[in-house]
Amino acid sequence: MPEVKTHDGSVLEAEVLGSGPALLLPVSPKPAEGPQAEEMRKWGMDPALGRTLMDGLSDAFRVVAFDYEGHVMAHPKPGTLTPANVAADFLAVADAVGAERFAYYGYSWLALSGLQLAIRTDRLSALAMGGFPPLGGPYAEMLRVTEATHELSLAGAAGQGGEQGQAQGEAQNEAQGEARGENSGEKGGDEFDWSAVEVTMSPDQTRQFLTLYRALDGFDDASVQAGLTCPRLCFAGSADEIPYGERWGGVHVSIGGPVMRRRAELESLGWTVRVLDGMDHTQAMQPPNVLPVLRPWLESVLL
């Protein structure tokens, strides 16, 4: 199993499966177990999401899976999780497995990180973004949400003597990007009381995402489109609209909206656009919904 030294010196493991054109997937190749798996199911998440994606793609592609989100949760980078450093870490993964050219698929904040990668390298053979619009992205809104999340984590650490529920925090983060806040709705067919969610991540864990979104403050995604030359796919659920409660600043984060409103513009810029009808943020990232979109597109542009 290849080991990758990330920008802060910590080690990230990757797993390679299959043969063919290289595809980087920032997902966990190991299914979650125990309390973490149960917590993920509460959020409508497949505990084996990463492994299922790998198995669904590895007969046609050389899949390079690495749990980047789990890595930054286990080894927080509170002052250094910048777009440039994330891109450098992804390139280090490609180097470690000998992939001079590679495709990349990421979802949510790992999708926007893919866009940051694309504007920093000419090594991408294809870019697929799910759950975050490549044009009109809600960067300002996510900065406000992440600021509030960090403040809540500071208050929680002070009230609990610094102890945090690590398994729950990791599951929250994996399910909802940067510890998404208050919302309500059906996840996986079961009602989940989002208003009861507490931030259980540590201040260092939340601060790293604050560092990321502060670095993206004012990022003009329209200005970089002309420089993108590899084949590009974006998709989102039509119901991916996230209203945060007052504890998270009362912010509304729209993911599906920009993709649908600017679909014609995106397509004119060279993006392939897919809208998953009726799906929210969590539903649109599940393998049964991702693979029918992602795999045929990858085959069309890489094989």
pLDDT of residue 166: 37
CATH architecture of 3-302: 3-Layer(aba) Sandwich (3.40)
pLDDT of residue 196: 52
Q: Where are the domains of the chain?
A: 3-302
Q: Write the pLDDT tens digit of every residue in 240-266.
A: 999 988 888 899 999 999 999 999 999
Mean pLDDT of the chain: 89
Residues 6+ apart with CB under 8 A from 211: 77, 78, 79, 80, 81, 82
> In the chain, which ranges are continuous DSSP H helix?
34-42, 49-57, 68-74, 83-96, 109-118, 139-159, 166-176, 203-215, 256-261, 263-268, 287-302
Average pLDDT value for residue range 6-29: 98
Q: Write the pLDDT tens digit of every residue in 178-187.
A: 333 333 333 3
pLDDT of residue 190: 39
pLDDT of residue 47: 94
Q: Write the pLDDT tens digit of every residue in 142-178.
A: 999 999 999 999 998 877 654 333 333 333 443 344 3
